[in-house]
């Protein structure tokens, strides 16, 4: 039986998480039932065993958001090759999403094949996508979630700055390689100024390992070792 002090600590932790209103990196993505342009779905269950990118946009029928959806759509096959799905979100009705994607296809000849969540504001508020001073519009949030439903990366952009979808695609690939090989990815990978396409060896935890790694790998020092990617 829990003591009153232990219960208070647990209660405080739960209250803090509820007040935070946003899952952090390393947290389990919350289970949410959503209405989308592809019907009702339950996140993250619908993408079980897959990576997925959930991204919010301020509103349908707006210029920056339109360019972003075209960019995501043109890279959708590349995301799918990484076993990664896309799902958008804004505080708009399903019919608005449908008319907007219809306009994009008819006028820009680009088909939006991934679902878009029609939110009342509840989901966006839960995920911290609505910031003070932005009324009911969401900022440009990005959540990358892995096949175990763990949040692995979060990016926020203001409404006036469109996202770089190649960077989001790069981040998914980098996370997958880091997981598979137990390595770390340098800045700008795979075009890093110091080591090019090579990957970094995580820093050692003890002196013995530090000495061994300095002999095993190319390095600038024992804490900055790197190697060719073995794919």
Helix 63-74 × helix 165-181 angle, to 10° = 40
> Per the residue annotation, which of 46, 53, 65, 151 is the catalytic one?
65
CA dist 55 and 76 (Å) reads 13
* 16 exposure class (CB count in 10 Å sphere: 0-12, 13-18, 19+): exposed
84 is catalytic: no
Torsion over CA: 122, 125, 130, 132 (sign): positive
| Full DSSP string of 208-227 | HHHHHHHHHSEEEETTEEEE
Residues 6+ apart with CB under 8 A from 63: none
Q: Which residues are catalytic?
A: 65
């Amino acid at each position: 039986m829990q003591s009153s002090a232990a219960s208070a600590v647990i209660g405080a932790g739960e209250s803090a998480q509820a007040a935070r209103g946003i899952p952090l990196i390393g947290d389990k993505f919350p289970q949410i039932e959503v209405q989308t342009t592809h019907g009702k779905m339950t996140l993250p269950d619908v993408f079980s065993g897959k990576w997925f990118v959930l991204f919010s946009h301020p509103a349908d029928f707006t210029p920056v958001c339109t360019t972003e959806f075209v960019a995501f759509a043109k890279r959708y096959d590349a995301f799918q090759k990484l076993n990664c799905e896309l799902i958008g979100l804004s505080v708009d009705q399903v019919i608005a999403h449908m008319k907007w994607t219809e306009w994009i296809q008819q006028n820009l000849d680009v088909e939006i094949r991934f679902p878009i969540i029609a939110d009342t504001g509840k989901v966006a508020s839960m995920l911290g996508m609505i910031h003070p001073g932005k009324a009911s519009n969401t900022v440009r949030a990005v959540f990358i979630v892995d096949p175990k439903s763990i949040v692995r990366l979060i990016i926020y952009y203001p409404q006036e700055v469109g996202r770089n979808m190649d960077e989001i695609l790069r981040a998914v690939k980098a996370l997958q390689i880091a997981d598979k090989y137990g390595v770390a990815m340098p800045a700008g990978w795979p075009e890093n100024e110091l080591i090019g396409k090579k990957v970094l060896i995580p820093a050692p935890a003890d002196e013995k390992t530090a000495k061994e790694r300095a002999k095993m790998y190319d390095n600038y020092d024992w804490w900055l070792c790197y190697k060719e990617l073995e794919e």
